Structures are given as C-alpha cells and as structure tokens.
C-alpha cells in the first residue's frame, strides 16, 4: 500500500471524505482533488482489470443502452469532427465503437480486460489492444479523435496518461471524455451515492482539478457539457436497495433440506436473475436520461 500526495499540489491530505471497502478518499485542501490513499500497488490493481470477469459481464449485457448513449455522444463529437480515426480507451464491450463504425468512423479500441478485448476483436471485428496506451499502440499510429467515458478515475497516473493521449493525437486531433465532477459535490450529498467503487476509482476530479490536468498536459479546452445527476443518483440508490431485497435470505427456522430446495429451485433463481438483470439494465438508461 502506497501513501500518495495530490498529483497537482504535491501535498499530503488529512481531510477524509470517503470511507469504503477499507479504503479512504482524501481531499486536497488546495485543488479539491479526492484521491485514494493509501492505495494498492499498480500490479495489485492491474489484476482487477485483467482478470476480473465482473466488468465483462456488466458491459457485454448492456448493448442497447450503450448504443443509445453512443448515439447521443456521437452527435456531440460530430459538431467538431464528423469523420476520421477514432480510438476509445477503456472500450468495455465495444458498443460505442460499433456505433461509431456504423456512422463512418475508422475505429480502434483499447481494453485492458482480456475477455472484452477478445469480444471486440472476434465478435465485433474491431481492432482492439488489451495493453495500456503507449507510443507503440496500433503500430505507432496517431488518431483524429480519442474518446473515453468514466475511465479517468481509473488512471493510476492521470498526468502521464493524458500526456500520452496528447502524443497519440494528430495535430488537429481532439480528446473527448466523459467523467463525473464528484469532487465538486458538497459533502452532505455524498450519502446519496450508492457506491464510490473503491479502490478502483483512484481519483475523483472537480472542475478545478480537471482544468489543472488539461493545462499540465497541453490541452486547450474547447467545450464543456454539464449534466445534473442528483435525481438520477437518488433513483439509482432506490433501485439498488430494491435489487438487494431480491437476494436469497435463508430463514433460520428452515430445515437444511428446505434451504437446499430453495437454493436449487431453478425456476425461482432464473426469475430472480432476470429481474436482477432488468434492474441492472435500468442503470445506463437512467444515466442516458439524466443527460438529456
């Protein structure tokens, strides 16, 4: 475990804002950035992305809702570039790229999760690499557009990552990314969050720290779109609580035989998992509606 300082102000923090899964998120008193400290080592975190199946299951199951979101985002991107090469970082199951390809872009993906990278290459027939972005990615080529969504908080070294993104863009290339400005949320509203995804989400940014990141990595801000998420967060939390009530709760007075019968009742389990999947699918639809 590594005790880290603010990546912009080089200061340690004592201001604990979030406590989850045995990890703490501290806020930098100067720029407002919230960061996990102490944090797992890079090899420990890499295991989560490379080996974990949970992201793959989540992403691959959400095709329709991801494509709805992709269409919405591509309308925005086309205001600035309506053709050319487009690379997505953290491509998930590749549905954004699939939609971008349909709309005429030449698409590439980077996805550290090998299950998803294989899915993108073999099922979607889109060129996807599973190593992190580096100068040699895709045989050293550069791109007109680099896009990522809800990936920023996962970067182990955001300044390095954004510098590399800049190097991989053509001279008139653009970076488009979507992220929460969670660090700008007042402390009293954090209780409305269902989870913060610790320790995966290493950094939570606000407008001030985002501006610092972009300035330090030689980007010029062209346009910012903002969406309110408070109502969405409340509905999401209610749905999550409802989903938890669907989990099997063995009654202590049940005999062992009846407990086994409950657990092995295929019909009951199938119905519950269908409902569970439906509720999980509501999440990205709600996320999309919150952006309209």
Residue 216 vs 276, nearer CB to Zn ion: 216
Per DSSP bridges, beta strands 203-204 and 34-36 are: antiparallel
Q: What binding mask, one character per residue, do residues 106-145 give for Zn ion by CB under 5 A, x or -?
A: ----------------------------------------
DSSP state letters, the chain = -B----TTT------EEEEETTEEEEE-TTT--EEESSB--HHHHHHHHHH-SHHHHHHHTTHHHHHHHHHHHHHHHHTT-SSSEEEEES-TTSHHHHHHHHTT-EEEEE-S-HHHHHIIIIIS--EEE-SPP-TTGGGG--EEEEEEES-GGG-SSHHHHHHHHHHTEEEEEEEEEE---GGGS-GGGGGG-S---TTT--EE--HHHHHHHHHHTT-----------HHHHHHHHHHHHHHHHTS----TTS-HHHHHHHHH-HHHHHHHHHHHHHHHHHHHHHHHHTT-
Is the CB of 159 or the CB of 235 nearer to Zn ion?
A: 159
From the CB of 14, what's the least distance to Zn ion, in Å?
13
User: By C-beta, is 2 or 263 nearer to Zn ion?
Assistant: 2
Binding segment for Zn ion (CB under 5 A), chosen from 9-17, 36-44, 68-76, 160-168, is 9-17
**Cα distance between residue 151 and residue 131, in whole Å:** 15
Q: Is 185 in the site for Zn ion (CB under 5 A)?
A: no
Single residue of 4, 5, 9, 197 touching Zn ion by CB under 5 A: 9
Per rule CB under 5 A, count of chain residues that contact Zn ion:
7
Residue 63: HSE in the Cβ half-sphere, 13 Å Cα cutoff: 8
Give the binding range for Zn ion (CB under 5 A) out of 3-11, 16-24, 165-173, 227-235: 3-11
Shortest distance, position 215 Cβ to Zn ion, whole Å: 13
CB 289 within 8 A of CB 232: yes
Nearest approach, Cβ of 161 to Zn ion (angstroms)? Answer: 18
Q: Which is nearer to Zn ion, 32 or 90 (CB)?
A: 32
Q: Which is nearer to Zn ion, 29 or 270 (by Cβ)?
A: 29
Of the candidate residues 6, 18, 93, 175, the single one contacting Zn ion (CB under 5 A): 6
Binding to Zn ion, residues 18-47 (CB under 5 A)? 28, 30-31, 33
Closest approach of Zn ion to the CB of residue 224, in Å: 20
Q: How far is the CB of 189 from Zn ion (least distance, A)?
A: 21
For residue 33, the minimal CB distance to Zn ion (Å) is 5
CB of 154 to Zn ion, least distance (A): 19
Interface with Zn ion (CB under 5 A): 6, 8-9, 28, 30-31, 33
């Amino acid at each position: 475990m590594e005790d880290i300082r603010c990546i912009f102000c080089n200061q340690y923090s004592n201001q604990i804002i979030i406590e989850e899964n045995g990890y703490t998120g501290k806020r930098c008193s100067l720029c407002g950035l919230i960061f996990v400290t102490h944090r797992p080592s890079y090899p420990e975190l890499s295991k989560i992305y490379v080996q974990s199946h949970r992201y793959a299951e989540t992403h691959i199951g959400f095709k329709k809702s991801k494509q709805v979101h992709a269409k919405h985002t591509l309308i925005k991107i086309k205001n600035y570039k309506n053709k050319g090469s487009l690379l997505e970082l953290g491509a998930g199951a590749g549905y954004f790229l699939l939609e971008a390809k349909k709309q005429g872009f030449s698409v590439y993906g980077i996805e550290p999760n090998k299950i998803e990278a294989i899915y993108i290459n073999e099922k979607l027939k889109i060129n996807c690499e599973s190593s992190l972005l580096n100068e040699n990615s895709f045989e050293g080529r550069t791109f007109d557009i680099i896009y990522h969504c809800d990936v920023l908080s996962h970067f182990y070294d955001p300044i390095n990552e954004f510098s590399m993104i800049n190097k991989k863009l053509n001279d008139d290339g653009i970076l488009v990314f979507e992220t929460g400005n969670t660090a700008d949320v007042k402390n009293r509203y954090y209780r409305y969050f269902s989870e913060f995804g610790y320790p995966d989400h290493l950094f939570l940014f606000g407008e001030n720290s985002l501006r610092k990141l972009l300035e330090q990595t030689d980007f010029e801000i062209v346009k910012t779109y903002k969406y309110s998420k408070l109502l969405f967060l409340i509905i999401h939390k209610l749905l999550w609580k409802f989903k938890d009530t669907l989990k099997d709760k063995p009654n202590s007075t049940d005999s062992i035989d009846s407990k086994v019968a409950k657990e092995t009742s295929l019909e009951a389990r199938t119905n519950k998992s269908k409902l569970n999947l439906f509720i999980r699918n509501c999440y990205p639809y709600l996320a999309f509606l919150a952006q309209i």
